[in-house]
A and B are shown apart, each in its own frame.
Chain A
Amino acid sequence: MSASLAARSWQPSSMFGGRWQRRTLLFAFAAYCVWSIGDLAIDHARVMRGFGRAADMLARMWPPDFSRWELLGRGMLESVQMAIASSVIGAVFCVPIALCAARNLAPAPVYVAARALIVVGRTFHEVIVAILFVKLFGFGAVAGMLTLAFSSAVFLAKMIAEDIENVRPGPVEAMRATGARFGQVVVFGIVPQVVVRALGVFIYRIDANLRHSTVIGIVGAGGIGQTLAASFTRYDYDFSAAILLCIAALVALGEWFSDHVRRRLR
């Protein structure tokens, strides 16, 4: 309060602890950078040749060849169908998983089992799951759809479970106090609190599935990705270019749709 104490200083507490800790960390990071760049053993000649090939490839890509538009269209349609069907299937299956994976609803063993399923499901990237499902169910859209449905269910369940864990407990307590059953507590006390965000996440997932559906085809799980992979192996770069342009357009469209709908939900 008094003027004689004007020289008191204050600093925000650092994220990395004390000064020496900070210096050690910085030094370690610098040392790592030096070692790692030295260890890369970049072969300049190879990189340069790569640039040359890229120029050649780009040249052969132009102009894009849309003459096989039927094949292209069929692939795109298959991808879109895969994305939509898998999103819907995923949305259905995510509900029970999400309820089981919410700490405030499920008993401990159920919770642990559901969380384990989610962790396992998210450990493996879509492409790895797709490889597995192609082995199980053969080449084609079925494997792709199952892949995306599985990863959508797990993804949506994780997001929704987290929302359920963050609901205001008061209304839930109020519903329990009226003598409502568990299902009714969920329908009246929890669903209204999470539904808007859940819809937003679902629409984001449709968008994500559109993108994923173009990729997993490369490992033989159907859709436009399979067509794209085939065109690359046959060096039909002009057809590849046409496919890439279409994928870009589709993804952009999906993103616009997703953005548009989610903005209106709020």
Chain B
Amino acid sequence: MEGGEAPLPGGAGEKRERLRVESLTKVYPTGKRALDGVDFTIREPGVVAVIGSSGAGKSTFIRCVNRLVEPTAGRILLDGVDLVGLDRAGLRAARRRIGMIFQEFNLVERLTVMENVLAGRLGHVGLVDTLRRRFAPADVDAAFDLLERVGLEGFHDRRADALSGGQRQRVGIARALIQRPDLLLVDEPTASLDPRTARQIMRLVRELAVERATPAIVNLHDVALAREFADRVVGFSAGRIVFDDAPVALDDSTLDRIYGGENWHAPPEDDPPSTSSGARPTTLDDAGA
């Protein structure tokens, strides 16, 4: 499953295309053109950070890949299979291979940690077994392993709404990884967390993506996190990719291109959007608990 399913064609020659997005376009019913002909290819495992201001199309992009948002035009090839043309059964089968991690964690609050993790295996069990919470012993075993790996050993019977934000996101990560995905879609994983927890979570996402040789597309609003944890950075602006390179190539002029002009060396107090959005969801999270 872990990327080694099929031998790489051509060996050391041209690398296998894991994900290829061709002229992906999304126009919402409101007329907003969220994605405007995006071309994008992933050939190797590792973390691809997607940055860009709010409304640049990051979230739409990531949701188009597993068709939580239906693309208007374009092709999405996962290991050569076009996801856009799939029927419902085919789409479900494809989604089983794509793990997703969310900004708001999206755990089912009244369920236990174990149930939330095993929800990642729903694509592999029937409806009756779902009702009876019967999962394959191997899946339960994998869930225990993953909980241990994300640092939540012994938490399996806790209810999800009893966890802190960082713990919830760890459950979210375990839920995505128990799918044994060929691709990870990670949407603003740290935006609801405090800065310290955010770094821990990003480090965990990166370690797991590397360990399992799984490519991960990570939407980030925090450029510093992208610089530190990504192998490659893609910049979105107005629905187009305006930057696609290694993090070291991110300089002020490229940031200008992605975000529009701004003084990038101003002290953080002068940068209310990013600091406030880092702190706000933590209180939201407390209120929701």
Contacts and interface: CB of A to CB of B under 8 A. Distances in A.
A174 B168 CA distance: 14
B95 interface: yes
A177 B100 contact: yes
Of B91, B122, B130, chain A has the most CB atoms within 10 Å of the CB of: B122
A92 interface: no
B95 A171 contact: no
Given A179-B92, A187-B130, A192 B122 contact: no
A181 B121 CA distance: 11
Interface in B28-44: none
A178 B95 contact: yes
A177 B66 contact: yes
Given A192-B110, A192-B111, A176 B95 contact: yes
B110 A179 contact: no
A196 B110 contact: yes
A187 B127 CA distance: 8
Contacts of A196: 110
Nearest to B131: A187
Interface in A160-203: 168, 170-171, 173-181, 183-184, 187-189, 192-193, 195-196
Contacts of A184: 122, 125, 127, 130
Contacts of B98: 177
Of A183, A184, A196, chain B has the most CB atoms within 10 Å of the CB of: A184
Given A173-B68, A177-B68, A178-B96, A188 B106 contact: no
Query: Majority SS of interface residues in chain A?
Result: helix
Of A173, A175, A177, chain B has the most CB atoms within 10 Å of the CB of: A177
Given A173-B68, A175-B119, A192-B110, A183 B100 contact: no
Interface in B77-130: 91-98, 100, 102, 104-111, 115, 119-123, 125, 127, 130
Interface residues of A, number: 21
A185 B214 CA distance: 26
A183 B92 CA distance: 13
Interface string B166-179: 00000010010001
A184 B185 CA distance: 21
Contact of A178 (B104, B111, B119): B119
A184 B128 CA distance: 9
B130 A170 contact: no
A243 to B, nearest CB: 44
Contact of A174 (B97, B102, B110): B102
B59 to A, nearest CB: 12
Contacts of B104: 170
A102 B175 CA distance: 27
A178 B92 CA distance: 8
B120 A183 contact: no
B110 A181 contact: no
A178 B123 contact: yes
A188 B127 contact: no
Given A171-B108, A188-B111, A192-B110, A179 B95 contact: yes
Given A187-B130, A187-B131, A178 B120 contact: yes
A170 B110 CA distance: 14
Nearest to A174: B106
A172 B164 CA distance: 21
A179 B119 contact: no
A22 B183 CA distance: 62
A188 B108 contact: yes
A42 to B, nearest CB: 56
A170 B94 contact: no
Nearest to A170: B106
A184 B129 CA distance: 10
A53 to B, nearest CB: 57
B130 A171 contact: no
A170 B102 contact: yes
A183 B123 CA distance: 11
A11 B104 CA distance: 38
A171 B66 contact: no
Interface in B208-239: none
A192 B94 CA distance: 26
Contact of A181 (B92, B94, B102, B111): B92
B67 to A, nearest CB: 9
A176 B127 CA distance: 14
Given A177-B100, A179-B92, A184-B130, 15 more contacts: A168-B106, A171-B106, A173-B102, A173-B106, A175-B108, A175-B122, A177-B68, A177-B98, A179-B93, A184-B122, A187-B127, A189-B108, A192-B108, A193-B110, A196-B110
7 contacts: A174-B102, A174-B106, A174-B172, A177-B185, A178-B96, A178-B175, A187-B130
